[in-house]
Amino acid sequence: MTQPRLVEVRQKVLSKNDLAARVLRERFRAAGVCVISLVSSPGSGKTAFLERVLSLLRVRYRVAALVGDLATDNDAARLARSQAPVKQICTGTICHLDASMVSNALEGWDLEELDFLFVENVGNLVCPSSYDLGENARAVLLSVTEGEDKPLKYPSIFHTADAAIITKMDLAEAVEFDGASAHRNILSVRPGIPIFETSVKTVAGLEYVLAWMEGLRLPV
């Protein structure tokens, strides 16, 4: 008897978020900033990946990041080592970021002073798939230590992503990672999605990810 009510509430929440996301997207477009959100499960190496990306991009671009976590500001402190502006969003018991959280976190920032804004979502492969953040693109990260079947277990997050980034490739041989199987599983869920194999430790593959990101930039 309660299921229809739960569905109705969820639809209203998502509708409200979609409206806020549209406002954000127009704001980002007007400012000329490219916004990329990163989603993954905990332990995928998302923060280490973003720290390296920020360090590499800031040589040529103006970059900043928002990072979501349930309770701590550990990730923000780590990302600050890249010398890029970083803000932490603490979500409490909420397992994802939403458009209103992102909007509130942007207070005090002049978006026209940025070329790239990264949004690191809470470590979760379920909830973030439903919430538009007004981003230009969403990248889902999968580490070699997680198993090749993650895309089949969590198809929604891969289906809503614009790129799949396989991390920790320097450990692939040690954990007997089956790259061909991982690629097949990703493409079975999201045909045609670009897939990048990367290692923050060796920097392998990051040049291709950066090229993809640069290709997303709006014409100046």
Domain, as residue range, for 79: 3-215
Q: What is the pLDDT of residue 75?
A: 80
Q: What is the pLDDT of residue 80?
A: 87
Q: What is the pLDDT of residue 2?
A: 52
Task: Compute the distance between CA of residue 121 and CA of residue 37 in angstroms, rounded to an integer.
Answer: 7
Q: What is the pLDDT of residue 218?
A: 59
Q: Which of 136, 164, 122 is nearest to 36 (CA)?
A: 136
Domain count along the chain: 1
Task: Compute the distance between CA of residue 193 and CA of residue 189 in angstroms, rounded to an integer.
Answer: 9
Q: In a structure prediction context, what are the per-residue pLDDT tens digits for the chain, which is 220 residues long?
A: 455 665 565 567 788 999 999 999 999 999 999 999 999 999 999 999 999 999 999 999 999 999 998 777 778 888 888 999 999 998 888 889 999 999 999 999 999 999 999 999 998 899 899 899 999 999 999 999 999 999 999 999 999 999 999 999 999 999 999 999 999 999 999 999 999 999 999 999 999 999 999 999 856 5
Asked if residue 77 is part of any domain, the answer here is yes
Asked if residue 102 is part of any domain, the answer here is yes
63 and 54 Cβ atoms separated by less than 8 Å: yes
Task: Compute the distance between CA of residue 148 and CA of residue 116 in angstroms, rounded to an integer.
Answer: 30
Q: What is the pLDDT of residue 73?
A: 76
The CATH code of the domain that includes 107 is 3.40.50.300
Q: What is the pLDDT of residue 94?
A: 86
| Confidence (pTM) | 0.91
Asked if residue 195 is part of any domain, the answer here is yes
Asked if residue 139 is part of any domain, the answer here is yes
- For residue 132, is it left (φ>0), alpha (ψ between -120 and 50) or beta? beta
Asked if residue 96 is part of any domain, the answer here is yes
Burial of 185 (0-12, 13-18, 19+ CB in 10 A): buried
Q: What is the pLDDT of residue 78?
A: 85
Asked if residue 220 is part of any domain, the answer here is no
